[in-house]
């Protein structure tokens, strides 16, 4: 036997065009994504306790949520610019550290002013975590494996906010409201440890900054977020503040877009939106977020405020939804994306999400735990079917150089959609409650024999103040129930309304899934 025959066979070199998956990076960026999105819902359950601790009003409590969202959405579009300037590694590690520091300070605060400042800091640094995590995952997987990447990413981005109320309820009930901030610290430490040494170091580059465009964009987005977040509590356009912020958002936003279309170095490259799949995906993710976050936002109000569920039971209600979403994402990314047209999966996901929310509109005041859970399971299945293929379709034609910027835009539309959903669905509950109460009360008089017969077993006479108070309380409960039904129905419609945009998405080219990342 010759020496040549004894020599080990040649091992083909790895194709440099095909990314080699590093699972430490994958876990790190998924945990990083969890950091940001978990804080968008975990604080909600703790708000009543924070209100009592700080001795503040309900209007002041809203700023704890608003400050975080405004800072996050205003800064997120800068991800591409700052990534090119400082490099992904520096930006994401700085963002994780900054987010952790402001989380720790948030748990130590003793005043509402300090809390708002901490939430602004969390929102500022947290804004970069989602877009950068998504871009890093894209670079860690070949195109034919991106469904798996988005399934893993979706476990953090979609499942975490769904389970946020559950985790927040457990921490608040067994520890303190401050624990909802401290829980971020170990997650941040683990993410940094896993990421350390894995991401390549990039040189600091000089990047031209369009300061005028930056100012216009931040002003427009900030004004829009304030309008959405404070609109309901300020009775919308009856408030001078809302009139000013809405007008400011409209005028400055229009100016930003018109100027940006003719500006070569605009802070946002509008040329990205010329890709019809990316443009349609942004509209669809916004409508999907209206449906998803709108329903999630009012469900705790429904079960705690109207059905008198304890805090923990209200939190547990989200667990079946979250479990269904997690399973759906894994199956979609690992199996279905290889065998089914992604557009068909998105279409089915929207139908299931809308159907689940619409089924909540069929509930009544006697609804039990599983009556409330099963619609959530259907919506959860829809989340996985929608999110994984939609993210893949959105970025199928985006170059590597534009991924960070495109991820920032995609993240902004998702965040604005969630804010619009929370604002519109919450306003629907408030307005429709008043409408249904007036309608129901208009048919009730003290001389109605049916009313007299209904009150008789309770020992009440129709023309007494006690009976009037009891009737008003009962009618208000029914009116609220009808209002929540209207709101859930509207959230379902928001998902169905996105179906036409699926037709705009480009079908992935045959064999394109295996194409190298450029």
Q: What's 421's domain CATH number?
A: 1.20.1250.20
pLDDT in tens, 457-469: 777 777 777 877 8
Q: Do 233 and 344 share a domain, yes or no?
A: no
In a domain, 12, yes or no: no
In a domain, 443, yes or no: yes
CA distance 405 to 401: 8
Check residues 330 and 208 and name the one with the higher pLDDT: 330
For the CA atoms of 351, 357, 362, 365, the dihedral, rounded to the nearest 10 degrees, stands at 170
CA distance 314 to 319: 10
- CB distance 66 to 222 below 8 Å: no
Cβ-Cβ contacts under 8 Å for 461 (sequence gap 6 or more): 452, 455, 467
Q: Do 172 and 252 share a domain, yes or no?
A: no
Q: Do 64 and 172 share a domain, yes or no?
A: yes
Looking at the chain, the whole-number percentage of residues with pLDDT higher than 70 is 82
Q: Do 354 and 277 share a domain, yes or no?
A: yes
CA distance 291 to 287: 6
Q: Do 307 and 453 share a domain, yes or no?
A: yes
CA distance 64 to 180: 13
In a domain, 395, yes or no: yes
Average pLDDT, rounded, for the chain: 78
In a domain, 289, yes or no: yes
Q: Do 329 and 453 share a domain, yes or no?
A: yes
In a domain, 2, yes or no: no
pLDDT in tens, 279-302: 899 999 989 988 888 888 788 778
Q: Do 199 and 227 share a domain, yes or no?
A: no
In a domain, 6, yes or no: no
In a domain, 3, yes or no: no
355 band by pLDDT with thresholds 50, 70 and 90: very high
Of 179, 204, 229, the residue that ends a domain is: 204
Range(s) of the domain holding residue 381: 269-518
Cβ-Cβ contacts under 8 Å for 185 (sequence gap 6 or more): 100, 103, 104
The model's pTM: 0.73
81 band by pLDDT with thresholds 50, 70 and 90: confident
Which token pair is 267? 């802070």
Calculate mean pLDDT across residues 351-372. 88
213-243 burial, b for 16+ CB within 10 Å, e for fewer?
Answer: bbebbbbbbbbbbbbbbbbbbbebeebeebe
Count of domains observed in the chain: 3
Q: Do 358 and 256 share a domain, yes or no?
A: no
Of 204, 231, 255, the residue that ends a domain is: 204
Q: Do 359 and 234 share a domain, yes or no?
A: no
* Count of alpha carbons within 13 angstroms of residue 453, beta-carbon side: 3
Which token pair is 246? 């809405």
Calculate mean pLDDT across residues 319-332. 83
Least confident of 166-175, 334-343, 480-489: 166-175
Q: Do 306 and 248 share a domain, yes or no?
A: no
- The crossing angle, in degrees rounded to 10, of helices 211-230 and 403-441 is 20
What local confidence, expressed as pLDDT, does residue 1 receive? 41
Of 266, 286, 301, the residue that ends a domain is: 266
What local confidence, expressed as pLDDT, does residue 22 receive? 66
- The crossing angle, in degrees rounded to 10, of helices 112-126 and 58-75 is 20
Q: Do 395 and 406 share a domain, yes or no?
A: yes
In a domain, 11, yes or no: no
Q: Do 161 and 253 share a domain, yes or no?
A: no
Which token pair is 448? 């109605």
19: which DSSP letter?
P
């Amino acid at each position: 036997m010759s020496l040549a025959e004894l020599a080990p066979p040649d091992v083909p070199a790895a194709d440099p065009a095909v990314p080699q998956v590093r699972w430490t990076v994958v876990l790190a960026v998924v945990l990083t994504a969890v950091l940001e999105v978990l804080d968008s819902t975990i604080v909600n359950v703790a708000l009543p306790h924070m209100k009592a601790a700080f001795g503040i009003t309900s209007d002041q409590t809203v700023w704890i949520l608003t400050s975080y969202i405004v800072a996050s959405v205003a800064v997120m579009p800068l991800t591409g610019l700052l990534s090119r300037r400082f490099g992904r590694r520096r930006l994401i590690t700085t963002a994780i550290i900054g987010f952790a520091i402001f989380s720790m300070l948030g748990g130590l605060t003793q005043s509402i002013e300090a809390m708002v400042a901490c939430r602004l800091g969390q929102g500022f640094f947290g804004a970069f975590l989602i877009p950068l995590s998504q871009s890093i995952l894209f670079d860690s997987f070949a195109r034919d494996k991106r469904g798996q990447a988005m399934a893993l990413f979706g476990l953090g981005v979609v499942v975490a906010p769904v389970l946020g109320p559950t985790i927040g309820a457990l921490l608040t009930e067994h520890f303190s409201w401050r624990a909802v901030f401290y829980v971020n610290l170990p997650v941040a430490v683990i993410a940094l440890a896993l990421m350390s040494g894995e991401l390549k170091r990039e040189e600091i580059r000089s990047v031209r900054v369009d300061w005028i465009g930056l100012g216009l964009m931040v002003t427009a987005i900030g004004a829009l977020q304030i309008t959405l977040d404070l609109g309901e509590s300020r009775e919308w356009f009856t408030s001078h503040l809302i009139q000013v912020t809405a007008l400011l958002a409209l005028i400055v936003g229009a100016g930003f877009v018109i100027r940006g279309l003719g500006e070569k170095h605009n802070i946002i490259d509008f040329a990205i939106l010329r890709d019809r799949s990316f443009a349609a995906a942004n509209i669809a993710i916004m409508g999907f977020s209206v449906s998803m976050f709108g329903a999630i936002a009012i469900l705790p109000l429904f079960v705690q405020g109207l059905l008198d569920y304890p805090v923990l039971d209200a939190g547990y209600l989200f667990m079946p939804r979250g479990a269904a979403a997690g399973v759906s994402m894994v199956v979609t990314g690992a199996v279905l994306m290889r065998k089914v047209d992604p557009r068909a999966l998105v279409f089915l996901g929207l139908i299931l999400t809308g159907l689940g929310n619409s089924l909540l509109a069929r509930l009544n005041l006697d609804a039990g735990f599983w009556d409330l859970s099963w619609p959530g399971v259907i919506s959860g299945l829809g989340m996985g079917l929608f999110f994984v293929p939609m993210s893949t379709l959105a970025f199928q034609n985006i170059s590597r150089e534009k991924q960070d910027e495109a991820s920032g835009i995609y993240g902004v539309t998702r965040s604005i959609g969630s804010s619009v959903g929370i604002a519109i669905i919450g306003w629907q509950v408030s307005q429709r409650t008043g409408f249904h109460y007036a309608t129901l009360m208009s048919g009730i008089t003290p001389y109605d024999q049916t009313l007299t017969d209904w009150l008789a077993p309770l020992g009440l006479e129709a023309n007494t103040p006690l009976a009037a108070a009891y009737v008003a309380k009962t009618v208000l409960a029914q009116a609220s129930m009808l209002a929540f039904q209207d709101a859930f129905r509207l959230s379902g419609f928001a998902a169905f309304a996105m179906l036409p945009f699926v037709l705009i998405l480009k079908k992935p080219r045959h064999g394109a899934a295996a194409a190298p990342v450029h």
